[in-house]
Amino acid sequence: MIKLLDKFDLMKETRDLVIVANENKQTQLLFDLFDSELEQFNDELFSSVYSLGKLKSKRVHIIGRNKLMNDEKLKKVISKLSRLKEEYVILTNTFSQDEISKLSLFVEKLVVKTYKIDTFKSKKSKDLPDVYFYSEEDIDSSINEGKIYGESINKAKDLVNTPYNYMKAKDLADYAKFLEKYEGITVKIYEKNEIEKMNMGSFLGVNQGSSDEPYLIFIQYKNKDNKDEPIALVGKGVMYDTGGYSLKTPKTMPGMKVDMAGSAAVVSAIEGIARLGLDANVMSIVAATDNRIGDGAIVPDDILTAASGKTIEIVSTDAEGRLTLADAVWFAQEQGAKKIIDVATLTGAILVSLAQYYTGAFTNNQEFYDEFKSVIEKTKEDIWLMPVSKVFHDELKSDVADISNKGGRFGGSSIAAAFIEEFINKDTAWIHLDIAGTASNKKDGATGVMVKSFIKLFHK
């Protein structure tokens, strides 16, 4: 969809043109042809004029001066462009230097805004028009960067929006294996017998009711010159969540294909990191399974033993994501990670606290959190720091096991974070991101939340 033009002739180009009403040579030439005054368009967000035969291009779309600089206005401009039905050329020669600096973001937003999923519709959407960029300066790297960011976000959306009968644990594992085509990526997929050998009883307990096999997905990207210790991105990979015998209601179960949004984020992010060839050492880890009812499914009162040796009393089979993450973060540390970010659609309680506007963040290391927060300030994927302290760990006390998998009625997000922290070593810096509120919305479906921030963390 996004393409670069090597050559451009204003008088011969047949595609629609997009320009910014800045005072420069290329813009002035167009306005001279139209016998129009530049000033009348300066304050307009987006205007379209017909060339009336003065150009081969049928129309010229004019963005008001400096309207790309404000993020909210950029969003509106992209929205206007995404509705154009004919292919068009964006003349970046008409951009100011400040606007050129935002070219990567411009492309990224355009790719994300034009995302559609109609894979399972009998009547497909019309193909989107091609968008061409032309500049007399070298803009290749900015265009490529924006495309990769946008396509990585869209890939996460694709994975999340695909229903369970097409996106099981094996399907995600197969996609992960496909990433080995990128330089620097290695992939190891652990099947059930290998997971059993690692004594991942917490992860396997969630899978007991399923007829579909679980898979532990381990993707590593390392730039050949990188000397850093690895950072692990651990994504919740519950491909569909019925709640198990603590069954969800008919109202809350539809949409549970979104429960693997954490895994989609870490898989799509590491693909983007590899495509950009970043100087990084990063792991993406997913314990992938569904949570269903079956003859062998766990029930409340069962006791599972995690790979760490810690025993877990099952209070609710619907508190299953944390069970998979317990073994996944243990595995990340076994692979040498001293910094871990886990991301999960973990609790409905985070929606009560932060609605759909903020991702809940929890940490045991302020320095690591501050580093990540500085990235978030650039990507504008809003997070809010929540408490995870001794009082929440106390909620997990059990009379019959080392811990229970659920605490009391209140503070559910912090209690869930505390559960994961029980499996984090004292010398491991850890951040937990609860994206239950931000992973999807009614209007657009999956959002691809945290993909951009994870890439940007390594994009120095």
What is the helix (H) or strand (E) element at residue 26, kind and residue range? Answer: helix 25-34
Single out the residue of 441, 427, 432 nearest to residue 414, CA to CA. Answer: 432
CA neighbours closer than 13 Å in the CB half-sphere of residue 253: 14
Q: Is 296 exposed, middle or buried (0-12, 13-18, 19+ CB in 10 A)?
A: exposed
Tokens standing for 109?
Answer: 């937003």
Q: Is 218 exposed, middle or buried (0-12, 13-18, 19+ CB in 10 A)?
A: buried
Which amino acid, residue 186?
Answer: T
Phi, psi of 261 (to 5 degrees): -60, -30
Asked if 248 is an active-site residue, the reply is yes
Report which DSSP code applies to 153: H
**Which CA distances in Å does 253 have to 205, 243, 247, 292, 385?**
20, 8, 9, 12, 28
Which amino acid, residue 329?
Answer: V
Strands 88-91 and 281-291 turn out to be unpaired
Cα 169 from Cα 259, distance rounded (Å) = 12
> Hey, CA dihedral for 433, 233, 305, 291, is it positive or negative?
positive
Cα 228 from Cα 366, distance rounded (Å) = 20
Are 62 and 21 contacting, i.e. CB atoms less than 8 angstroms apart?
A: yes
Helices of type H across 355-446: 366-379, 390-394, 412-421
Q: Which residues are CB-contacts of 112 (< 8 A; sequence separation ≥ 6)? A: 150, 153, 154, 448
Tokens standing for 296?
Answer: 């062998």
Single out the residue of 204, 325, 332 nearest to residue 259, CA to CA. Answer: 325
> Hey, CA dihedral for 90, 92, 95, 100, is it positive or negative?
positive
Options 56, 76, 222, 248, the catalytic residue: 248
Options 102, 322, 339, 452, the catalytic residue: 322
In sequence order, what are the beta bridge partners of 304?
Answer: 312
Q: Is 279 exposed, middle or buried (0-12, 13-18, 19+ CB in 10 A)?
A: middle
Span between the terminal Cα atoms of the chain, in Å:
27
The owner of tokens 């899978």 is: 207
Active site residues: 248, 322
